[in-house]
Amino acid sequence: MNGHYKFVNTPLPYAFEAMEPYIDKKAMYLHHDKHLQTYIDNLNRTLSNHPELQNWTLEQLIINAPCLPKEIRSDIKNNGGGVFNHQFYFSNLANPAFPQPVGILAQAMENAFGSYPSFRNQFKEAALSVFGSGYAWLVVNAAGQLGILTTKNQDTPLEMGLVPVLNIDVWEHAYYLKHYNLRADYIDDWFHVVNWEQASQNYTHCFPGLF
Ligand code: MN3
């Protein structure tokens, strides 16, 4: 992925079938090569007419979207968010994966949520509560604390000043081919392929020099 325009859809760091049997090959292919590609194409198309924004990073575009010209504000927010959220989602998958959090993150999650099973229940409940399309997130807030939140459509925690640690895409396109309308089954399967090493890195990067 380029740091700025023209954004490109870098290949997944694993095969489309790598998350089988939890997330199916066809869903992964369509999700990455079609859905994410469309967000990237739309973002590039918007930026092609705005050379003054072409050296901005994805994060800069998302965070500063409210300050951009009105005619491109929602395009940048929605497509920039779509690119960020999907890249984050794909980067936090692994198979085989550790069955539960590892490293410094494991201790922080125990402090915040009591136990891993307790976190799992709360995270699943949040992911199920998203009405329509969106995401559930594990984030670090301004006080340095872990929390769970949900976002609609392609909104991101970046806009709220939060640092993302982990997300699950609960748009139907993420699971419909295998799990049909059964989002709860998809969430249970997704827990098998959470890349806890990556999540732990996302967490420790939030506290440079501390760990
Ligand atoms: Mn998606």
CA of 16 to the centre of ligand 1 (A): 15
Kindly indicate the confidence band of residue 209, based on its pLDDT and cuts at 50, 70 and 90. Answer: confident
**175 and 23 in contact (C-beta within 8 Å)?**
yes
Give CA–CA dist 181/167, Å, rounded: 20
CA of 168 to the centre of ligand 1 (A): 9
Give CA–CA dist 54/109, Å, rounded: 38
pTM for the model: 0.97
Give CA–CA dist 162/156, Å, rounded: 9
CA of 133 to the centre of ligand 1 (A): 9
Model pLDDT for residues 134-192, shown as the tens digit of each residue: 999 999 998 999 999 999 999 999 999 999 999 999 999 999 999 999 999 999 999 99
Model pLDDT for residues 2-23, shown as the tens digit of each residue: 799 999 999 999 999 999 999 9
CA of 88 to the centre of ligand 1 (A): 11
CA of 57 to the centre of ligand 1 (A): 21
Q: Considering just the CA atoms, what is the radius of gyration of the chain in Å?
A: 17
Q: What is the mean pLDDT of the chain?
A: 97
Give CA–CA dist 31/28, Å, rounded: 5
CA of 87 to the centre of ligand 1 (A): 10
Question: Amino acid identity of 17?
Answer: E
Kindly list the protein residues that place their beta carbon closer than 5 angstroms to ligand 1, a single-atom ion.
169, 171
